Amino acid sequence: MRSALFTFILIVSVLSGIYSQSFDYRKYNYEWKSVKPDPMVLDSIYSKEDAVIMDEKCIYNITGNLVQNYSTVNAIGNYFYIDESSQGKSPIVQKYVRIKFLTQKGIDKFSTFTLPESFDPQHDMLIVPHAKRISLRRPRGEFQCVRYFAARIIKKDGRIKNALLHESTDKEIQPRDGRDITFFSWNFQIGGLEPGDELEIDYSYEGSYTYSPTSRLFFSGEMPKQNFQLTFRQRQKDTYFIFDHNVSNPADTFEMAGSNMRYRDVIYKEKNLKGGISECGSRPARELPYISFYLHNLDFGAHQANAAVIQYPLPYPWWFKLSPFLSYQYDDLNFKLKWKDKTTSAMNKFVEEERSKVKDTTTAAIISGIHHTIVESFDYDDDINYYEGNDTKLEKLGKNVENKLLRQISRHHFYEQIFLRLDREYYLSIMADKRTNSIDPGKYEHLGLQSWMYSVPYKDQFLFFYPKASRFGYEANEFPFYYENVMTVLVPQHLPAENKSDFMPSVEFKFVRTPSSNHEDNNRQTTAIISASLDSLNIRISGKLKLSGQFSTLTRGYYLYQSMDTTINPVYYKSIKDLADPGDQVQISSEKLSVLFPFPATFAFNFKKEKFIQKAEDGIYTFGFEGWFNNFKDEEFSSENRRLDYYPDFKSEDIHRFLMQFDHPVKLLEAENMVDTFSNSYGYYIIKIEQKDDYKLLFETSLVVRAEMVPASKAADIQSIFDAITSLNQRKFKVKKI
């Protein structure tokens, strides 16, 4: 489970001019390349769009450079070349965009531009909690970020009109190492637009910041693009390796002279690019064109015979990049473990006690037992005070182990100390989140966000262990869906001590897939008996919540400790637990928890609701179940103009069954013995309503998600099931007292 690295964040949004960040960009004397731009024809394939980028030219200067402030050097901006940087920050981005607005909806949605912008939005926003993704932007800019911003409107009759700019800024303060670090976003809202207008904008910025920056540049954005050009600019003396993905046309390469250095430009051109890069449930890397890149340090390549000098660089292989993470045995482990310091003695005692609990002497059994103790018994400290600079105390691993406390800064150190005492073969495992990235065994590429786990051999497979990052932790071989069935690389950690000095160690880096699950493993069942009184109009609910597979992995920590995975859709945490009256609480208790796949967990709950039933006309009563049938429904999903394929988080079965028992005989009106079934490429949804006898009514839904991917062309299938879930939750039922 992830949590944001910086958690104390202050967001302020006010009119620009109040902040102390630089507004030098307003002094920039921008002049358009031509007084009146040439007409452009919009392709008929875009006739039903709300807005289309007819032309975009972007220069992504990865280098940056140290020269005077741009406002004293440049007088006129042009569309193809700016190389001055105010403080040498990278990258420098310059972009020219010409947009055709076809509808008012397009104007409302796409007439505000925020700088700096993201070239890989799903990666950049992944670490930001869902609840904060409106207010927290990634990337942010530093004090002097925007270099200039110019905009003008081309009316339908060809007249040129100055655009009305409404500027605002967002400010983010991140306490770090005892001081506040401030970042900004600049918002430019264009006024005076009408359907049929075209908008030209030209802007440049530099010094953008985000946690674990991406090394990918996607060509697509939110709007479709008719013509697109990307120039990836680098210093001629630098060596970047660039990898094309889903790109239609090969790049052209040019060399050119800047004002103070020579550059190499790699230019890509594309036509008719899809929009919708941020659509929920999409995997842009699987279908949209992009490039990935990394800077080569000229430390690996082809050598001349009997010479140490690299003749020319070659792409990094995985083994070269992973070799620094290899770990070796101690020359004299017994001597190391006899040290008298607190950490050594506390770790020796902890591991010895845990080993004595396990009869099986295999590495897998011992570390599984130790890992379970940590998951179940250790409290967790996220070390916010440490990262903010307010806690300067030492790590104190030994003392914390005695007190059963795991600190965030000790997560990996703790496990390394455990494996040291086991003195057995084990591995570090690199995981890429499949929602945004993947590992290709045949080609090294920079991953951006990644997680480190540990693994040990088990029969002909491997067991994986993820050091917990909250009070709740995953059991052995337990993964959230985004680490299931992904390629991972194993880095040996128990190599012979005599090999430490090998410059190029002969080591096998294993590439294996993590375990997977299916819809039968991933099951949730919510069952309850509802005792209903027509006299008091109140109800009392008693039931059970059974979780297995991903439903258990993602949510049982919520029911045990209020722990939530902030990177997943928060709808997973909507449950019957939320239905108690204000000021009251659902009483929930765990009845069964298993450490073995598919990790079944059972919780019992009970609560009451007053005035749940409304008395209508004589003998008629109404009630509804809003929020009760909380089958998964992505609130952000819309099938309208869906552009990218939709990937459900995981295959699953989700059942809600409520038996309502009345204190008087009743007859269900309008929906007696109703069964509705929705079946399509996404899965199927069944609604069953049945009068069992004069006192009992059964309300039941079953949602089975059976698709790994639903093509964008069938987005309406998903929408129909989501709409059915919404409709049932909004429905009112009537009974007549008989």
Q: In angstroms, rounded to a whole number, what is the distance separating the alpha carbons of residues 16 and 23?
A: 9
Cα 421 to Cα 412, 442, 669: the distances in Å are 15, 35, 69
Give DSSP secondary structure letters for 100-149: EE-SHHHHHHHSEEEES--SSHHHHHTTS-GGGTTT--SSEE-SS-EEEE
Domain 52-296 has CATH 2.60.40.3140: yes
Q: In angstroms, rounded to a whole number, what is the distance separating the alpha carbons of residues 392 and 399?
A: 16
Angle at 180 between CA 179 and CA 182, to 5 degrees: 145
pLDDT at 306: 74
The number of helix segments (H) and strand segments (E) in the chain equals 11, 38
Domain-wise residue ranges, the chain:
52-296, 333-513, 523-737
Residues 128-160: tens digit of each pLDDT = 888 888 778 888 887 678 999 999 999 999 999
Give the pairing type, strands 652-662 and 523-532: parallel
Greatest CA span in the chain, whole angstroms? 101
Give the pairing type, strands 164-176 and 179-191: antiparallel
Name the 3-class secondary structure at 6: coil
Cα 47 to Cα 42, 103, 370, 639: the distances in Å are 8, 10, 62, 18
Name the 3-class secondary structure at 351: helix
Name the 3-class secondary structure at 94: strand
Q: In angstroms, rounded to a whole number, what is the distance separating the alpha carbons of residues 363 and 377?
A: 21
Blockwise average pLDDT, block size 10, the chain, 738 residues:
35 35 75 90 96 98 57 30 41 95 98 95 89 82 84 95 92 80 90 97 86 91 98 94 95 85 93 97 97 95 82 95 95 95 97 96 96 98 89 91 97 97 97 95 91 95 96 98 97 94 86 95 97 97 97 97 95 90 86 96 96 93 96 95 97 98 95 87 97 96 98 98 97 95
Among 419, 412, 413, 444, which residue's Cα sits nearest to residue 511?
444
Please list, in sequence order, all residues whose beta carbon lies within 8 angstroms of the beta carbon of residue 308, skipping any fewer than 6 positions away. none
> What CATH code would you report for 523-737?
2.60.120.1130
* Structure token pair of residue 144: 């002097």
Q: In angstroms, rounded to a whole number, what is the distance separating the alpha carbons of residues 373 and 465?
A: 13
Rg (the chain; Cα; Å):
30
Please list, in sequence order, all residues whose beta carbon lies within 8 angstroms of the beta carbon of residue 367, skipping any fewer than 6 positions away. 418, 419, 422, 426, 454, 456, 463, 465, 476
Residue 489's DSSP bridge partners are 430, 511
User: Do residues 18 and 170 touch, judged by C-beta distance below 8 A?
Assistant: no
Among 578, 604, 440, which residue's Cα sits nearest to residue 526?
604
Cα 532 to Cα 529, 548, 609, 695: the distances in Å are 9, 30, 10, 10
Give the pairing type, strands 683-691 and 601-609: unpaired
Name the 3-class secondary structure at 669: strand
* Structure token pair of residue 693: 């006898």
pLDDT at 21: 54
- For residue 199, which amino acid is it? L
Give the pairing type, strands 614-615 and 379-381: unpaired
Q: In angstroms, rounded to a whole number, what is the distance separating the alpha carbons of residues 336 and 361?
A: 23
Among 513, 520, 586, 599, which residue's Cα sits nearest to residue 554?
599
Q: In angstroms, rounded to a whole number, what is the distance separating the alpha carbons of residues 132 and 137?
A: 9
Give DSSP secondary structure letters for 462-527: EEEE---SSSS---TT---GGGTT-EEEEEE--B-GGGTT-SS-----EEEEPP---TTTSEEEEE
User: Do residues 200 and 432 touch, judged by C-beta distance below 8 A?
Assistant: no
Domain 333-513 has CATH 3.30.2000: no
pLDDT at 61: 93
Please list, in sequence order, all residues whose beta carbon lies within 8 angstroms of the beta carbon of residue 400, skipping any fewer than 6 positions away. 406, 407, 410
CA end-to-end span of the chain: 53
From its phi and psi, is residue 347 left (phi > 0), alpha (psi between -120 and 50) or beta? alpha
